[in-house]
Protein backbone atom coordinates (compact mmCIF):
# COMPACT_ATOMS: atom_id res chain seq x y z
CA UNK A 1 0.00 0.00 0.00
CA UNK A 2 1.18 3.51 -0.81
CA UNK A 3 2.12 5.90 1.98
CA UNK A 4 0.07 9.05 2.55
CA UNK A 5 2.36 11.31 0.52
CA UNK A 6 2.08 9.08 -2.55
CA UNK A 7 -1.71 8.95 -2.18
CA UNK A 8 -1.86 12.76 -1.98
CA UNK A 9 0.26 13.11 -5.13
CA UNK A 10 -1.85 10.61 -7.06
CA UNK A 11 -5.16 12.32 -6.19
CA UNK A 12 -3.94 15.93 -6.06
CA UNK A 13 -4.58 16.32 -2.32
CA UNK A 14 -2.83 19.36 -0.79
CA UNK A 15 -2.11 19.68 2.93
CA UNK A 16 -0.54 18.03 5.97
CA UNK A 17 -3.03 18.77 8.73
CA UNK A 18 -3.66 16.09 11.33
CA UNK A 19 -7.39 15.86 10.54
CA UNK A 20 -6.77 15.38 6.82
CA UNK A 21 -4.11 12.73 7.41
CA UNK A 22 -6.37 10.85 9.80
CA UNK A 23 -9.23 10.81 7.26
CA UNK A 24 -6.89 9.42 4.57
CA UNK A 25 -5.56 6.76 6.94
CA UNK A 26 -9.08 5.53 7.72
CA UNK A 27 -9.98 5.53 3.99
CA UNK A 28 -6.96 3.37 3.17
CA UNK A 29 -7.72 0.97 6.03
CA UNK A 30 -11.33 0.33 4.95
CA UNK A 31 -10.60 0.29 1.19
CA UNK A 32 -9.83 -3.47 0.92
CA UNK A 33 -13.12 -4.35 2.69
CA UNK A 34 -16.72 -4.03 1.46
CA UNK A 35 -17.90 -2.01 4.47
CA UNK A 36 -20.23 0.90 3.71
CA UNK A 37 -18.61 4.24 4.52
CA UNK A 38 -20.12 7.59 5.48
CA UNK A 39 -18.00 10.67 4.67
CA UNK A 40 -18.95 13.73 6.72
CA UNK A 41 -17.82 17.31 6.42
CA UNK A 42 -18.94 20.82 5.57
CA UNK A 43 -19.74 21.84 2.02
CA UNK A 44 -16.61 22.46 -0.03
CA UNK A 45 -14.21 20.34 2.06
CA UNK A 46 -13.49 17.88 -0.79
CA UNK A 47 -15.59 14.92 0.36
CA UNK A 48 -15.77 13.59 -3.21
CA UNK A 49 -12.06 12.62 -3.09
CA UNK A 50 -12.46 10.02 -0.32
CA UNK A 51 -14.74 7.64 -2.31
CA UNK A 52 -12.27 7.73 -5.20
CA UNK A 53 -9.40 6.80 -2.86
CA UNK A 54 -11.44 3.96 -1.33
CA UNK A 55 -12.51 2.62 -4.73
CA UNK A 56 -8.99 2.82 -6.19
CA UNK A 57 -7.41 0.84 -3.33
CA UNK A 58 -10.32 -1.58 -3.00
CA UNK A 59 -11.08 -4.95 -4.55
CA UNK A 60 -13.51 -3.34 -7.02
CA UNK A 61 -11.04 -0.91 -8.59
CA UNK A 62 -11.31 -2.57 -12.02
CA UNK A 63 -15.13 -2.33 -11.99
CA UNK A 64 -17.39 0.68 -12.51
CA UNK A 65 -17.49 3.71 -10.21
CA UNK A 66 -20.28 6.27 -10.34
CA UNK A 67 -21.00 9.41 -8.29
CA UNK A 68 -24.63 10.46 -7.81
CA UNK A 69 -25.64 13.83 -6.33
CA UNK A 70 -28.88 13.08 -4.46
CA UNK A 71 -29.57 16.78 -3.89
CA UNK A 72 -29.60 17.53 -7.64
CA UNK A 73 -32.18 14.87 -8.57
CA UNK A 74 -35.87 15.84 -8.19
CA UNK A 75 -37.76 13.83 -5.59
CA UNK A 76 -40.17 12.43 -8.18
CA UNK A 77 -37.43 10.84 -10.30
CA UNK A 78 -34.71 9.79 -7.84
CA UNK A 79 -36.16 6.27 -7.38
CA UNK A 80 -36.10 5.78 -11.15
CA UNK A 81 -32.54 7.10 -11.41
CA UNK A 82 -31.20 4.82 -8.68
CA UNK A 83 -33.26 1.66 -9.17
CA UNK A 84 -34.64 1.93 -12.73
CA UNK A 85 -38.23 1.68 -13.99
CA UNK A 86 -40.50 -0.40 -16.19
CA UNK A 87 -42.08 0.86 -19.40
CA UNK A 88 -45.37 2.65 -18.66
CA UNK A 89 -44.77 2.86 -14.90
CA UNK A 90 -45.29 6.65 -15.03
CA UNK A 91 -45.82 9.41 -17.57
CA UNK A 92 -42.79 9.61 -19.84
CA UNK A 93 -41.58 6.06 -19.14
CA UNK A 94 -41.56 5.02 -22.80
CA UNK A 95 -39.17 2.08 -22.29
CA UNK A 96 -37.50 0.00 -19.60
CA UNK A 97 -34.55 1.67 -17.92
CA UNK A 98 -31.79 0.32 -15.72
CA UNK A 99 -30.95 2.28 -12.58
CA UNK A 100 -27.48 3.07 -11.24
CA UNK A 101 -27.53 0.13 -8.81
CA UNK A 102 -28.11 -2.22 -11.71
CA UNK A 103 -25.61 -0.61 -14.08
CA UNK A 104 -22.78 -0.49 -11.49
CA UNK A 105 -23.26 -4.08 -10.33
CA UNK A 106 -19.90 -5.26 -8.99
CA UNK A 107 -18.55 -1.72 -8.62
CA UNK A 108 -18.87 1.26 -6.29
CA UNK A 109 -21.59 3.89 -6.08
CA UNK A 110 -20.98 7.21 -4.32
CA UNK A 111 -24.14 8.91 -3.00
CA UNK A 112 -23.33 12.57 -2.41
CA UNK A 113 -25.64 14.89 -0.40
CA UNK A 114 -27.28 11.84 1.21
CA UNK A 115 -29.21 14.06 3.63
CA UNK A 116 -31.32 15.34 0.72
CA UNK A 117 -32.62 11.83 -0.14
CA UNK A 118 -36.42 11.41 0.37
CA UNK A 119 -37.58 9.02 3.10
CA UNK A 120 -39.17 6.64 0.58
CA UNK A 121 -35.88 6.31 -1.28
CA UNK A 122 -34.03 5.84 2.02
CA UNK A 123 -36.15 2.75 2.68
CA UNK A 124 -35.21 1.31 -0.73
CA UNK A 125 -31.53 2.06 -0.10
CA UNK A 126 -31.66 0.33 3.29
CA UNK A 127 -32.98 -2.84 1.63
CA UNK A 128 -30.11 -2.79 -0.89
CA UNK A 129 -27.57 -2.43 1.91
CA UNK A 130 -29.05 -5.24 4.00
CA UNK A 131 -29.99 -7.80 1.35
CA UNK A 132 -28.51 -6.60 -1.97
CA UNK A 133 -32.02 -6.54 -3.45
CA UNK A 134 -34.19 -3.86 -5.06
CA UNK A 135 -37.26 -3.56 -7.27
CA UNK A 136 -37.59 -1.28 -10.29
CA UNK A 137 -40.31 1.38 -10.21
CA UNK A 138 -43.50 -0.17 -11.59
CA UNK A 139 -42.22 -3.75 -11.31
CA UNK A 140 -42.69 -6.61 -8.86
CA UNK A 141 -39.55 -8.51 -9.84
CA UNK A 142 -36.74 -8.56 -7.28
CA UNK A 143 -33.30 -7.80 -8.76
CA UNK A 144 -30.01 -8.71 -7.08
CA UNK A 145 -27.02 -6.39 -7.07
CA UNK A 146 -23.53 -6.39 -5.56
CA UNK A 147 -22.57 -2.78 -5.09
CA UNK A 148 -20.41 -1.06 -2.50
CA UNK A 149 -22.06 2.10 -1.19
CA UNK A 150 -20.10 5.14 -0.05
CA UNK A 151 -22.19 8.11 1.07
CA UNK A 152 -21.39 11.72 1.97
CA UNK A 153 -23.30 14.51 3.66
CA UNK A 154 -22.69 18.06 4.85
CA UNK A 155 -25.60 18.11 7.32
CA UNK A 156 -25.87 16.69 10.83
CA UNK A 157 -27.78 13.44 10.27
CA UNK A 158 -28.48 13.02 13.98
CA UNK A 159 -30.39 16.31 13.96
CA UNK A 160 -32.16 15.21 10.75
CA UNK A 161 -33.23 12.00 12.52
CA UNK A 162 -34.74 13.99 15.40
CA UNK A 163 -36.68 16.09 12.88
CA UNK A 164 -37.98 12.96 11.13
CA UNK A 165 -36.10 13.71 7.89
CA UNK A 166 -33.70 10.78 7.98
CA UNK A 167 -34.08 7.12 8.95
CA UNK A 168 -32.21 6.13 12.09
CA UNK A 169 -31.66 2.52 10.92
CA UNK A 170 -30.12 3.75 7.65
CA UNK A 171 -27.81 6.10 9.55
CA UNK A 172 -26.43 3.30 11.73
CA UNK A 173 -26.13 1.01 8.71
CA UNK A 174 -24.03 3.56 6.82
CA UNK A 175 -21.97 4.97 9.68
CA UNK A 176 -20.19 1.72 10.53
CA UNK A 177 -17.01 3.51 9.49
CA UNK A 178 -17.42 7.31 9.49
CA UNK A 179 -14.76 9.53 7.92
CA UNK A 180 -14.74 13.17 9.07
CA UNK A 181 -13.08 15.75 6.83
CA UNK A 182 -12.03 18.89 8.76
CA UNK A 183 -13.14 22.35 7.57
CA UNK A 184 -10.50 24.67 6.16
CA UNK A 185 -10.49 26.87 9.29
CA UNK A 186 -9.07 23.84 11.16
CA UNK A 187 -6.31 23.46 8.55
CA UNK A 188 -4.65 26.86 8.93
CA UNK A 189 -1.23 25.70 7.76
CA UNK A 190 -2.71 24.26 4.57
CA UNK A 191 -4.55 27.41 3.43
CA UNK A 192 -1.58 29.18 1.84
CA UNK A 193 -0.38 25.93 0.24
CA UNK A 194 -3.78 25.47 -1.39
CA UNK A 195 -3.90 29.09 -2.56
CA UNK A 196 -0.49 28.82 -4.22
CA UNK A 197 -1.54 25.60 -5.95
CA UNK A 198 -4.75 27.16 -7.27
CA UNK A 199 -3.02 30.39 -8.29
CA UNK A 200 -0.41 28.40 -10.21
CA UNK A 201 -3.08 26.33 -11.97
CA UNK A 202 -5.00 29.43 -13.04
CA UNK A 203 -1.85 31.23 -14.19
CA UNK A 204 -1.14 28.28 -16.47
CA UNK A 205 -4.77 27.99 -17.60
CA UNK A 206 -5.16 31.67 -18.50
CA UNK A 207 -1.54 32.15 -19.62
CA UNK A 208 -0.68 34.99 -17.28
CA UNK A 209 1.96 35.62 -14.58
CA UNK A 210 1.35 33.97 -11.23
CA UNK A 211 -0.01 36.05 -8.34
CA UNK A 212 1.83 36.14 -5.01
CA UNK A 213 0.67 37.21 -1.55
CA UNK A 214 2.91 39.42 0.56
CA UNK A 215 3.46 38.45 4.21
CA UNK A 216 0.61 40.58 5.55
CA UNK A 217 -1.81 39.18 2.95
CA UNK A 218 -0.81 35.62 3.91
CA UNK A 219 -1.77 36.44 7.49
CA UNK A 220 -5.16 37.76 6.38
CA UNK A 221 -5.71 34.69 4.22
CA UNK A 222 -4.87 32.37 7.11
CA UNK A 223 -7.07 34.15 9.66
CA UNK A 224 -10.17 34.15 7.46
CA UNK A 225 -12.71 31.47 8.59
CA UNK A 226 -13.51 30.26 5.02
CA UNK A 227 -17.19 29.28 5.42
CA UNK A 228 -17.14 27.90 1.85
CA UNK A 229 -13.94 25.94 2.57
CA UNK A 230 -11.72 24.78 -0.32
CA UNK A 231 -14.34 25.58 -2.97
CA UNK A 232 -14.46 29.22 -1.81
CA UNK A 233 -10.65 29.47 -1.61
CA UNK A 234 -10.34 28.19 -5.18
CA UNK A 235 -12.94 30.69 -6.36
CA UNK A 236 -11.09 33.59 -4.67
CA UNK A 237 -7.77 32.50 -6.20
CA UNK A 238 -9.35 32.44 -9.66
CA UNK A 239 -10.98 35.87 -9.25
CA UNK A 240 -7.74 37.49 -8.11
CA UNK A 241 -5.72 35.81 -10.87
CA UNK A 242 -8.07 37.08 -13.59
CA UNK A 243 -9.22 40.48 -12.30
CA UNK A 244 -6.19 42.05 -10.62
CA UNK A 245 -3.49 43.74 -12.67
CA UNK A 246 -1.00 43.69 -9.80
CA UNK A 247 0.71 40.32 -9.36
CA UNK A 248 1.75 41.02 -5.75
CA UNK A 249 -1.39 40.92 -3.61
CA UNK A 250 -1.64 43.11 -0.50
CA UNK A 251 -4.20 42.84 2.32
CA UNK A 252 -6.11 45.80 0.86
CA UNK A 253 -6.56 43.92 -2.41
CA UNK A 254 -7.29 40.57 -0.78
CA UNK A 255 -10.08 41.72 1.56
CA UNK A 256 -12.11 42.91 -1.44
CA UNK A 257 -12.63 39.25 -2.33
CA UNK A 258 -13.40 38.03 1.20
CA UNK A 259 -17.05 38.65 2.17
CA UNK A 260 -17.78 38.95 5.88
CA UNK A 261 -19.11 35.51 6.89
CA UNK A 262 -22.55 35.40 8.52
CA UNK A 263 -22.60 34.58 12.26
CA UNK A 264 -18.86 33.92 12.34
CA UNK A 265 -16.13 35.95 13.95
CA UNK A 266 -13.33 37.14 11.73
CA UNK A 267 -9.84 38.45 12.34
CA UNK A 268 -9.79 40.39 9.10
CA UNK A 269 -8.67 44.04 9.25
CA UNK A 270 -11.64 46.38 9.25
CA UNK A 271 -11.55 48.91 6.41
CA UNK A 272 -14.11 51.55 7.49
CA UNK A 273 -15.22 54.13 4.90
CA UNK A 274 -14.84 57.76 5.86
CA UNK A 275 -18.59 58.43 5.80
CA UNK A 276 -19.14 55.63 8.36
CA UNK A 277 -16.45 56.60 10.86
CA UNK A 278 -18.61 59.34 12.39
CA UNK A 279 -21.29 56.82 13.31
CA UNK A 280 -19.31 54.27 15.32
CA UNK A 281 -18.41 52.18 12.26
CA UNK A 282 -22.06 51.22 11.67
CA UNK A 283 -22.91 50.09 8.16
CA UNK A 284 -25.46 52.09 6.19
CA UNK A 285 -28.00 49.28 6.53
CA UNK A 286 -27.59 49.10 10.34
CA UNK A 287 -27.78 52.87 10.56
CA UNK A 288 -30.94 52.90 8.47
CA UNK A 289 -32.57 50.31 10.73
CA UNK A 290 -31.68 52.39 13.79
CA UNK A 291 -33.18 55.52 12.24
CA UNK A 292 -36.39 53.69 11.32
CA UNK A 293 -36.77 52.17 14.79
CA UNK A 294 -36.18 55.56 16.44
CA UNK A 295 -38.69 57.13 14.05
CA UNK A 296 -41.30 54.49 14.92
CA UNK A 297 -40.75 55.17 18.63
CA UNK A 298 -41.21 58.92 18.10
CA UNK A 299 -44.41 58.35 16.09
CA UNK A 300 -45.78 56.15 18.89
CA UNK A 301 -45.08 58.87 21.43
CA UNK A 302 -46.68 61.42 19.10
CA UNK A 303 -49.85 59.31 18.89
CA UNK A 304 -50.08 59.23 22.67
CA UNK A 305 -49.46 62.97 22.85
CA UNK A 306 -52.12 63.86 20.27
CA UNK A 307 -54.57 61.49 21.94
CA UNK A 308 -53.98 63.30 25.24
CA UNK A 309 -54.45 66.69 23.57
CA UNK A 310 -57.76 65.58 22.07
CA UNK A 311 -58.96 64.33 25.44
CA UNK A 312 -57.93 67.67 26.92
CA UNK A 313 -59.82 69.46 24.16
CA UNK A 314 -62.99 67.57 25.05
CA UNK A 315 -62.71 68.74 28.68
CA UNK A 316 -61.63 72.30 27.83
CA UNK A 317 -58.14 71.82 29.28
CA UNK A 318 -55.31 72.54 26.81
CA UNK A 319 -52.35 72.56 29.23
CA UNK A 320 -49.35 70.42 28.34
CA UNK A 321 -47.69 68.28 31.01
CA UNK A 322 -43.96 68.44 31.59
CA UNK A 323 -43.50 65.09 29.81
CA UNK A 324 -45.58 66.21 26.81
CA UNK A 325 -43.50 69.39 26.50
CA UNK A 326 -40.31 67.30 26.49
CA UNK A 327 -41.68 65.03 23.73
CA UNK A 328 -42.73 68.00 21.59
CA UNK A 329 -39.30 69.59 22.01
CA UNK A 330 -37.54 66.33 21.02
CA UNK A 331 -39.69 65.84 17.90
CA UNK A 332 -39.21 69.48 16.91
CA UNK A 333 -35.41 69.14 17.23
CA UNK A 334 -35.37 65.87 15.22
CA UNK A 335 -37.41 67.33 12.39
CA UNK A 336 -35.36 70.52 12.19
CA UNK A 337 -32.03 68.73 11.64
CA UNK A 338 -30.56 66.90 8.67
CA UNK A 339 -30.58 63.11 8.58
CA UNK A 340 -27.62 61.40 10.30
CA UNK A 341 -26.04 60.66 6.90
CA UNK A 342 -26.20 61.86 3.33
CA UNK A 343 -29.72 61.08 2.11
CA UNK A 344 -28.55 61.27 -1.50
CA UNK A 345 -26.62 58.05 -0.97
CA UNK A 346 -29.73 56.02 -0.08
CA UNK A 347 -33.09 55.95 -1.85
CA UNK A 348 -34.52 54.06 1.12
CA UNK A 349 -34.31 57.06 3.48
CA UNK A 350 -35.51 60.62 2.95
CA UNK A 351 -35.89 63.58 5.30
CA UNK A 352 -39.24 63.92 7.01
CA UNK A 353 -41.05 67.00 5.74
CA UNK A 354 -41.45 69.78 8.30
CA UNK A 355 -44.89 70.88 7.09
CA UNK A 356 -46.88 67.64 7.37
CA UNK A 357 -50.18 68.05 9.23
CA UNK A 358 -51.65 64.96 10.85
CA UNK A 359 -55.37 64.94 11.41
CA UNK A 360 -56.77 63.31 14.58
CA UNK A 361 -58.56 60.75 12.39
CA UNK A 362 -55.17 59.55 11.08
CA UNK A 363 -53.90 58.81 14.57
CA UNK A 364 -56.77 58.33 17.03
CA UNK A 365 -57.74 54.79 17.99
CA UNK A 366 -55.02 53.21 15.81
CA UNK A 367 -53.21 50.24 17.36
CA UNK A 368 -49.43 50.13 17.28
CA UNK A 369 -48.31 47.39 14.90
CA UNK A 370 -44.99 45.79 15.72
CA UNK A 371 -42.81 45.32 12.70
CA UNK A 372 -41.56 41.78 12.21
CA UNK A 373 -38.24 41.56 10.46
CA UNK A 374 -37.78 37.95 9.25
CA UNK A 375 -34.88 37.03 7.01
CA UNK A 376 -36.59 33.73 6.28
CA UNK A 377 -39.73 35.48 4.97
CA UNK A 378 -37.65 37.86 2.87
CA UNK A 379 -35.71 34.94 1.40
CA UNK A 380 -38.94 33.09 0.64
CA UNK A 381 -40.40 36.20 -1.02
CA UNK A 382 -37.30 36.69 -3.20
CA UNK A 383 -37.35 33.04 -4.30
CA UNK A 384 -41.04 33.32 -5.24
CA UNK A 385 -40.42 36.48 -7.26
CA UNK A 386 -37.45 34.93 -9.08
CA UNK A 387 -39.45 31.81 -9.96
CA UNK A 388 -42.39 33.90 -11.18
CA UNK A 389 -40.10 36.14 -13.22
CA UNK A 390 -38.54 33.16 -15.00
CA UNK A 391 -41.81 31.20 -15.22
CA UNK A 392 -40.68 28.43 -12.90
CA UNK A 393 -37.33 27.80 -14.63
CA UNK A 394 -35.04 27.07 -11.68
CA UNK A 395 -31.81 27.41 -13.60
CA UNK A 396 -32.45 31.06 -14.47
CA UNK A 397 -34.08 31.80 -11.10
CA UNK A 398 -30.99 30.48 -9.31
CA UNK A 399 -28.74 32.62 -11.52
CA UNK A 400 -30.88 35.66 -10.76
CA UNK A 401 -30.61 35.00 -7.01
CA UNK A 402 -26.87 34.34 -7.16
CA UNK A 403 -27.10 30.81 -5.74
CA UNK A 404 -26.60 27.33 -7.15
CA UNK A 405 -29.49 25.40 -8.67
CA UNK A 406 -29.07 22.72 -6.03
CA UNK A 407 -29.34 25.28 -3.21
CA UNK A 408 -32.47 26.73 -4.84
CA UNK A 409 -34.02 23.26 -5.08
CA UNK A 410 -33.28 22.66 -1.38
CA UNK A 411 -34.81 26.03 -0.41
CA UNK A 412 -37.94 25.27 -2.46
CA UNK A 413 -38.34 22.00 -0.53
CA UNK A 414 -37.57 23.68 2.80
CA UNK A 415 -40.16 26.45 2.35
CA UNK A 416 -42.62 24.09 0.62
CA UNK A 417 -42.87 26.35 -2.43
CA UNK A 418 -44.90 24.98 -5.38
Q: Which residue ranges make up each domain of the chain?
A: 4-182, 185-271, 284-363, 375-414
Q: Following DSSP, what letter does each residue of 3-31 receive, concatenated?
A: -HHHHHHHHT-----HHHHHHHHHHHHHT
Estimate the crossing angle of helix 405-414 against helix 375-389, to 10 degrees. 120
Give domain 375-414's CATH number out of 1.10.10, 2.40.30, 1.10.1660, 2.30.29.
1.10.10
- The residue-averaged pLDDT of 83-108 equals 91
- Are 182 and 45 spatial neighbours (Cβ–Cβ below 8 Å)? yes
- The residue-averaged pLDDT of 316-333 equals 58
User: CA-CA distance, 67 to 87, in Å (whole number)?
Assistant: 25
Confidence (pLDDT) at 325: 62
Q: Following DSSP, what letter does each residue of 243-282 receive, concatenated?
A: H-S-SEEPHHHHGGG-PPPTT----PPP---HHHHTTTT-
Q: What are phi and psi of 343, to 5 degrees?
A: -65, -25
33-67 pLDDT, tens digit each? 999 999 999 999 999 999 999 999 999 999 999 99
Neighbours of 292 (CB within 10 A): 13
Confidence (pLDDT) at 322: 61
Confidence (pLDDT) at 3: 84
Confidence (pLDDT) at 273: 44
Equal fold, 185-271 vs 375-414: no
Q: Could you tell me which CATH number the domain at 4-182 has?
A: 3.40.50.300
Contacting residues for 369 by C-beta, under 8 A, at least 6 apart: none
- Nearest of 78, 85, 76 to residue 136 by alpha carbon: 85
Q: What's the CA dihedral at 275, 271, 232, 7 to 10 degrees?
A: 180
Confidence (pLDDT) at 19: 94
Contacting residues for 106 by C-beta, under 8 A, at least 6 apart: 60, 63, 64, 146, 147
Is CATH 3.50.50.60 the right assignment for the domain spanning 185-271?
Answer: no
Confidence (pLDDT) at 341: 44
- Are 251 and 269 spatial neighbours (Cβ–Cβ below 8 Å)? yes
Confidence (pLDDT) at 230: 96
Confidence (pLDDT) at 317: 54
Answer whether residue 143 shows pLDDT above 50: yes
The 3-state DSSP class for residue 213 equals strand
Percent of the chain with pLDDT over 90: 57
Highest mean pLDDT among 115-129, 308-322, 343-357: 115-129
pLDDT bin (cut points 50, 70, 90) of residue 274 is: very low
On average, the pLDDT of the chain sits at: 81
344-400 pLDDT, tens digit each? 444 444 444 444 444 444 444 444 444 444 567 777 888 888 888 888 888 888 888
User: What predicted TM-score, i.e. pTM, was given to this entire model?
Assistant: 0.62
Amino acid sequence: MMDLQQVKQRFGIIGNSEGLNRALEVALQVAPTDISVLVMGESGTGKEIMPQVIHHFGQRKHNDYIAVNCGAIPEGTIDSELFGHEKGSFTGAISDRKGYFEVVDGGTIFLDELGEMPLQTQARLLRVLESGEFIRVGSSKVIKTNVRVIAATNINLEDAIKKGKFREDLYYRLSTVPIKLPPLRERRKDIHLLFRKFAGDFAEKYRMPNVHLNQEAVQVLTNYPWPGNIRQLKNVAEQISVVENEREITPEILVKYLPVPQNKSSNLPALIPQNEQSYGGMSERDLLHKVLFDMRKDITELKKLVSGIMQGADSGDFHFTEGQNAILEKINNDLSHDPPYNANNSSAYQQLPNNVIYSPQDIHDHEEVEEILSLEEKEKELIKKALEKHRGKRKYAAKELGISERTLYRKIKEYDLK
